[in-house]
Amino acid sequence: MKTLKFIPATAAILLMALTMITASAAGLSDKKKSDQQNYLTIKGKVVDAENGTPLVFASVAVKESNVAIVTNIDGEFTLKIFDPVNAKNLELTFLGYKNKVIPLSDMKDNGYKNIISLEPAPIPIKEIVVRPLDPVDIVQKAINKIGHNYESVPNLMTAFYRETIRKNRSYVSIGEAVVEIFKAPYASDVRFDNTRIYKGRKSTDVLKMDTVLFKLQGGPITVLELDLAKNNEMILTAESMQNYNFTLSTAIEIDNKPHYVINFVQKPNIDMPLFMGKLYIEMDSYAITEAEFGLNLSNKEEAASLFIRKKPLGMDVTPELATYRVKYREQNGKWYFSYSRAEVKFKVSWKRKLFNTYYTTMSEMAVTDRTDQEVIKFAGKERVKMSDVFSDKVSAFNDPKFWGDYNVIEPDQSIESAIRKLSRKLKFSDRDDLIK
């Protein structure tokens, strides 16, 4: 049996610290930004043209700029456009559908949700018969093209980050932030990205946590590491490829471009938990434009050791699900990191308790703007570190106008309901403290 000599970085994307509840709070001093800017707000919902099904995580971008966002789990989005004079068209893309360009002049504003339908885009088999059908060869070509297909100069990105924790079906913690990302060149020897919090907020209901408080370490830096094209040592190197079986499953269209869909799965003779999933590789450029994958949890004990930093005595924590996703956006022949998401579900059991509790953690980041002009690395003290706990670095919220003119991921109804409930609990808690 072969034992790996490395731990894949994404397996530890959500490092969980389980500790007995302790009182902790930290505030973040907000930077000032003018709210006097004029901007156009467009709300919409993206659906399948044939059956009206919401399209989740569809990309919505201003064609003439770097401004973009993704739809939520209900297919809805809110996009704030700061330069409505030069912005002319809205471009919508989704895996397996024809992309769509809509003049902004055709979109209604004032809070009205525009319903936008996308047509499925099947790929005829004749599109791929002349292509090399060896999946390993396709993946190897994609690896060789990384330096050409992705940015060769540093970028400064603005992104929206959200992390949530659910106990069974109820939200017990929600945190959000606008973050800035220093994105190092892909072809450079120094490729480390870093991020800093620009403005953030949180809400936590510790009463529903019982005697345990879950904390996510790393925050936005962890989902940033899901950039497979840059952090390719877990799957996309000559050494790591030897640990997987690759198959070409089908072809699909993304943004009017035909793509190979390459499935990969961990070889049965590998001891350490690795990954299984899909790579979406554009046929002409061999750019990896999307990836969906999950951690192999067949060895529960080994998998748990990758996530759990510490836990109380008498508690067993078993990972039940670990899924990841990353997307890129193409502009002027180069592909840019645009979205990533990580979701992990745990079963928590105590030796003297009859029933188990399930906790689900989710972290996601959507890039809403970027520039390659006057990009400077962040000072060390400003950077988010892997050891940082995001919820300890931002303050509590209850202001519905908190985000102002920032582009954020539209919350689904359950999130909105959870925010209202947690905010009310926070207010009552503050009131009770004053009475005491």
Spatial CA neighbour of 159 closest among 64, 224, 229, 71: 224
| CATH number belonging to the domain at 40-118, selected among 1.10.3720.10, 1.10.238.10, 2.60.40.1120, 3.40.50.300 | 2.60.40.1120
Provide the 8-state DSSP code for 58.
Answer: -
Distance CA 252, CA 95 (A): 8
All residues at 6 or more sequence positions from 379 whose CB lies less than 8 Å from its CB, including other chains: none
Dihedral angle over CA of 44, 46, 47, 48, nearest 10: 150
Domain boundaries for CATH 2.60.40.1120 within the chain: 40-118
Predicted confidence at residue 357, as pLDDT, reads 84
Residue written as token pair 């690759």: 246
The residue type at 207: L
pLDDT of residue 82: 75
Tens-level pLDDT at each residue, the chain (436 residues) = 333 333 333 433 333 444 333 222 222 233 333 344 567 888 889 999 999 998 888 888 888 888 888 888 788 888 888 776 678 888 888 877 888 999 888 887 655 678 999 988 766 545 555 555 799 999 999 999 999 999 889 999 999 999 888 888 778 788 888 899 999 998 766 668 899 998 888 876 645 545 455 677 788 888 998 999 998 888 888 888 999 999 998 888 887 788 999 999 999 888 888 899 999 999 999 999 999 999 888 887 777 777 777 667 777 888 888 899 999 999 889 999 999 999 888 888 877 777 788 888 889 999 988 999 988 888 888 888 888 888 888 877 666 677 777 777 777 766 666 666 655 554 444 444 433 4
The helix (run of H) or strand (run of E) holding residue 176 is strand 170-183
Contacts of 61 (CB under 8 A, 6+ apart): 67, 68, 69, 90, 91, 92, 93, 329
d(CA 141, CA 136): 9
What local confidence, expressed as pLDDT, does residue 136 receive?
A: 94
- Burial call 364-373: b when 16+ CB within 10 Å, e when fewer: bbbbbbbebe
Structure tokens at 291: 């990836």
Output the pLDDT for position 216. Answer: 73
Task: Please give the full DSSP string across 100-142, using - where no structure is assigned.
Answer: EEEEGGGS--TT-EEEEEE-B-PPPGGGTTTS---HHHHHHHH
pTM of the predicted model, to two decimals? 0.77
With CA atoms as reference, report the closest residue to 370 among 334, 404, 401, 402: 334
- The span from the CA of 94 to the CA of 106, in Å, is 21
111 torsion bin: left (phi>0), alpha (psi -120 to 50), beta (else): left
Beta-strand ranges (E) seen in 232-333 are 244-254, 257-266, 275-282, 288-295, 308-310, 315-331
Beta strand 315-331 with 155-167 is unpaired
Looking at residue 432, its pLDDT comes to 43
The rounded distance, in Å, linking the Cα atoms of 42 and 90 is 10
